[in-house]
Chains A and B, each alone.
Chain A
């Protein structure tokens, strides 16, 4: 069986397919997690204060949350099965360990979010207000739990623990489940993913509320939403950056090549500097660079003059340990994704800080400049989430399971025609979904909230769907 079609291998088709479907899926997941929690907060505020402004905001952002949730669910089904489709040798190798979190994720988290969201959507007026409120909180908890298991599974690929290799079947076999779920890589990565998801929800809510405030729509409602979102943006931006910084130090310990490639640092250095940007290529002879002394050492080792290992030395170490081959990931991808992620994180921190400052001065609604800035920041968390995952996944290459299994040994032995067909198919389906979804989201986000008379607020629709 040929594994090439028109010079393209099954491997590269499978990698593109995984990249496209996963990045697409993860555009929606963080928003589900972040907005779910914020909608629960808004509904709780209404439940406590009985201020109809909170009710309007709950319904308004709840609608956007549901449209977004739907696409996250349907693209998630693909995620569950494409490990088997395109990565069957990977699946066989890791199933003993990797399969368990996926199964537990479905059992603990997916049932919870889907069932309680069903109650939330259809239960208004049929269950008590208290149960209706509990339903959104349980759905939100489900989304938060779902991230835990998939990140635990991914962290095992980044830093395998609690396993042994079966000498007969050559499969990775779990020896310690507790070690897998308390993997140091997982604890930091989960915090980082969770905070960035909450940040995504907060910035999304702030951007849309700011747009309506600028247009003068429902100042009471969107003013409240914007204030909650600003505080959430600031807190979660700080949390995301703090955990990301800890992850950098962990990365230097666990995957030093990823850190070296992120800086395009070819030779080990003490007190290494950090380049803010590079003009020219990244092969070690830049045309122009802006460098900040010592910062890379601080980032990677937490010390002013700490030693950061370089690509050349790490490549030599790796060939000695694992045999001949290149152990260097695609440097320009790592260099730029890292800077875009960090840069956007800082920008969102500034957004939250500026918002809080205006809030304190009671000038939020008047500052058109801030409101416009906040609306434009809508895209920032989505870009940051995507490049963050591209960074961490490309940075692990050539490994799919770090130090244990190379990506080239993980792919299904299948004719590339099948993968090409499904790659084209998924890309077409997802493009269509994106067009429909984004169109609908924009339409729904622009509709001002109706300020209903008292009796209308309580009316129960007979058919929801």
Chain B
């Protein structure tokens, strides 16, 4: 029933594909540096106090950042039910790993400072792996959306877990892993002081060229295969080129101590990266590697007009409000997190 629908998406459906893209962009921009901070925490710290400095840079905001994921998931469920149903049942085990990782990571932020040194060491592992695994797997998943998954007729999966980890997808995963880590490094450079700041900058300088190579390879691969795979495949080369160009100067920005610009730079690369993928995906939402007639399209998976209209009104009214108060939090906590002068005991407060 699904492959037969070849109509092009309506304006409202295009709008919602765009809004869901924006939600994912917001998620990857914001939780991207959260992941990066989690991955880098062992490498920017010499002792527990350093690790706490790193965690405290994202302490007040990480949970709000993760809500972007829940909103993207909910909006996909509402606007494109079949897309939601197919992706999350198909990426079953990968999604399970991501969810388990996010569970342990979130618990670690809240609980690590409440126990002793031994439990803190375990929570530190949870923070590292809980950040690294999703950072890798989100890239794998988005690469798979574009290059195809074993999707048969009527949106049924015909493959296994291993069909999801092909070379292209793995390079996609390494791209997001390195990109989010670099994003975290520029964030730590901006939000900390002293030794942690120096180490973060050093890592950013080393990591920037590596990330450049991986991301350039991936976006190049994406560009070269896009037109040949999809007749209507749309990749304005301007966007990936701009992303790669900005990535090329991030290392220099870090060296010049233009920390704010370096952070904006890694953020721009993330936006360019995922926008390229989503534009490449358009007008599909999930490509079938078996037959192009089994590819899921925006039009075939979208909810009816009325649902999209209701959702549009809700989004129009409440999104500005959310953006306003979420930005306000960043303004409140705009100061750099510094190491207390004397190593204090775990502070007993209401937190």
Contact = CB atoms under 8 A, between A and B. Distances in A.
A54 to B, nearest CB: 12
B100 A173 contact: no
Interface string A164-176: 0010110101110
Kindly name the residue among A66, A78, A81 whose own CB sees the greatest number of chain B CB atoms within 10 A: A81
Q: Interface majority SS on B: helix, strand, loop or mixed?
A: helix
B59 A122 contact: yes
A390 B272 CA distance: 47
B307 A174 contact: yes
A465 B109 contact: yes
A78 B314 contact: no
A291 to B, nearest CB: 46
A92 interface: yes
A103 B81 contact: no
A446 to B, nearest CB: 14
Interface in A113-172: 114-119, 121-124, 126-127, 166, 168-169, 171
Contacts of B53: 463
A333 interface: no
Contacts of B307: 96-97, 99-100, 173-174
Interface in A53-99: 58-59, 62-63, 66-67, 69-71, 73-78, 80-81, 83-86, 88-89, 91-99
A115 B327 CA distance: 10
A440 interface: yes
Interface in B25-76: 49, 52-53, 55-56, 59-61, 63-64, 66-67, 69-71, 73-76
Interface in B300-341: 303-304, 306-307, 310-311, 314-315, 318-319, 322, 325-326, 329, 332-333, 337-338, 340
Contacts of B348: 450
A177 B109 CA distance: 38
A123 B334 CA distance: 12
B304 A110 contact: no
B89 A465 contact: no
B110 A102 contact: no
A418 B160 CA distance: 10
B99 interface: yes
Interface stretch (A189-197, A265-273, A278-286, A421-429): A421-429
B257 interface: no
Q: In which size bucket is the chain A interface?
A: 35 or more
Interface stretch (B90-98, B176-184, B212-220, B246-254): B90-98
B291 interface: no
Contact of B63 (A93, A106, A117): A117
B73 A80 contact: yes
B306 A100 contact: no
A429 B332 CA distance: 35
Kindly name the residue among B66, B79, B107 whose own CB sees the greatest number of chain A CB atoms within 10 A: B107
Given A95-B85, A122-B59, A177 B93 contact: no
B89 A111 contact: no
A92 B81 contact: yes
A123 B110 CA distance: 16
A421 B107 contact: no
Contact of A440 (B73, B89, B114): B114
B169 interface: no
Nearest to A175: B306
Interface of B: 1, 49, 52-53, 55-56, 59-61, 63-64, 66-67, 69-71, 73-82, 84-89, 92-93, 95-96, 99-100, 102-104, 106-107, 109-115, 155-157, 303-304, 306-307, 310-311, 314-315, 318-319, 322, 325-326, 329, 332-333, 337-338, 340, 344, 347-351
19 contacts: A75-B103, A83-B84, A85-B89, A96-B303, A97-B307, A100-B314, A102-B78, A103-B77, A115-B326, A118-B64, A126-B333, A173-B304, A173-B306, A174-B306, A175-B306, A421-B93, A429-B100, A462-B347, A464-B351
Those 7 A-B pairs whose CB atoms lie nearest each other, nearest first: A95-B81, A84-B88, A99-B78, A103-B74, A99-B77, A70-B110, A59-B350
Interface of A: 58-59, 62-63, 66-67, 69-71, 73-78, 80-81, 83-86, 88-89, 91-100, 102-108, 110-112, 114-119, 121-124, 126-127, 166, 168-169, 171, 173-175, 177, 412-414, 418, 421-422, 425-426, 429, 433, 436, 440, 444, 450, 461-465
